[in-house]
Structures are given as structure tokens and as C-alpha cells.
Amino acid sequence: MPRLWQTTIDEHRRSVRGGILDSAWALAAERGPLSVTMSQVADAAGIGRATLYKYFPDVASVLVACHERHVAAHLEQLAQLRERGEGPGERLAAVFNAYARNVHHRERHGPPEMGALLHRDEHVAVAQRELLDLFRGLLLDAAQAGLVRTDVPPEQLATYCLHALGAAGSLPPGDAVRRLVEITLAGLRPSADGSGD
């Protein structure tokens, strides 16, 4: 098959798959994930059911693919923030703020059963490991600059941060998320007497 045709076919497939994911996510957010059918997804995406079944076997697999796409986009955003900033302290704060805002937003959008359906698969565990690695790297850089305590291993600090910032999901809108990030960052600083060094 000529290369141009293959490129065009691949682009078409990505476009169809993206349309399926967008349509399914919108339906699940509107009606709840347990109320969505494959026929509804096909209609919303503007394709036939037979085409839909070429891409996904059921609604749950479509929603898992949607979630994987969201998680990958969030991880990419955090990775980009890690590369920006004037120094390790600014990068750490930027990533923590973005992560906390994502958690806060996630808990306010979509029905509760969406989380129960999507947060149990292996892709979530893989994403969490990537997130912990990202946090650990930022903490190591900040520790080398003297901005973060060194009496606790970076792996443990990363886990602490992940769980502390996860509380953003239960906070009210407004300044509460920003304050949570500030408190989390304050807990990482070396103590004034040097005991955290």
C-alpha cells in the first residue's frame, strides 16, 4: 500500500476513534456510564454500530480508553510544567498546583460511578507510578537546591505529596486548593534548626 494512503487511513482511524471517545465521554457525563449503550455512542459519533465494534467491544472499554486519554494528557501537561520555570522550587510548585487543580476538577465533573468504573484498572496503577516518579524527580532537584527536607527518602515524600494533594478533590471551590498546595509545600521545607536537612 502506498505510504500516502496508509497515512490517510491512519489519520481517518484516529479521527473516528477520537470521535467515539468524545461522544462516549459526553454521554457518560450526561447520563451516567451505566446508562450508555453502544447504539447511543455510535449515533452520537455519527458512525454505524458495526464500525464502532471494530474499535471497541463494549461501552466499558470505550470509557477506559477515554480515561486513558485524559490521564495521558494530564501527565503530559505535568511533564511540560516540570521542564519550565526558573528553578526547582518554581517547577515543584507549578506541578503541584496543576495536579491539585486537576484532582479538584475531576471530582466535580462526571457522575460518581464514573470513578468507580475507571479507577480500578492497571492503566491507573501505571499512571500513578509515572506520577510518583515525576514527583520524586522534582523533589530530588528541590532537595539538591536545599529547598526540600532530606531526612525523609524522596519516594516517601512523593507518596506523601500525592496523597496530600489528592485531598483537593474534596475541597470547596475557591482558594482552598491553592492553600492546600501551600501547606503541602510547607511540609516539605527543611526545618529552621536544620533537623530536616
Mean pLDDT of the chain: 86
User: What DSSP letter does each residue of 70-110 carry, written as one string?
Assistant: HHHHHHHHHHHHHH-SSSHHHHHHHHHHHHHHHHHHHHHSS
Q: Which domains does the chain have, with CATH numbers?
A: 1-57 (1.10.10.60), 60-197 (1.10.357.10)
Query: Which position has the higher pLDDT, 118 or 27?
Result: 27
**Would the pLDDT of 111 be above 90?**
no
Q: What is the pLDDT of residue 32?
A: 84
Comparing 55-59, 117-121, 152-156, 187-191, which segment has the lowest mean pLDDT?
117-121
**Would the pLDDT of 5 be above 70?**
no
CB neighbour burial string for 123-143, b if at least 16 within 10 angstroms, e if fewer: beeebeeebbebbbbbbbbbb
Instruction: Tell me the C-alpha distance between 146 and 132, whole Å.
Output: 21
**CA nearest 135: which of 194, 75, 66?**
75
Q: What is the pLDDT of residue 3?
A: 62
Q: Which residue has the cell 470521535?
A: 19
Backbone torsion region of residue 65, taken as left when φ is above 0, otherwise alpha when ψ lies between -120 and 50, otherwise beta: alpha
- Find the mean pLDDT for residues 167-195: 86
Instruction: Tell me the C-alpha distance between 127 and 121, whole Å.
Output: 10
Using a cut of 0.95, tell me whether the model's pTM lies above it: no
Instruction: Tell me the C-alpha distance between 67 and 70, whole Å.
Output: 5
Instruction: Tell me the C-alpha distance between 24 and 16, whole Å.
Output: 12
Cα angle value 30/32/33 (rounded, 5°): 120
- Find the mean pLDDT for residues 17-46: 92
Query: What is the tens place of the pLDDT at every residue in 51-108?
Result: 999 999 999 899 889 888 888 899 999 999 998 878 999 999 999 999 999 888 876 5
Comparing 31-35, 150-154, 189-193, which segment has the lowest mean pLDDT?
189-193
Instruction: Tell me the C-alpha distance between 189 and 147, whole Å.
Output: 6
Query: What is the tens place of the pLDDT at every residue in 113-124?
Result: 666 566 566 667
C-alpha cell recorded at residue 63: 470509557
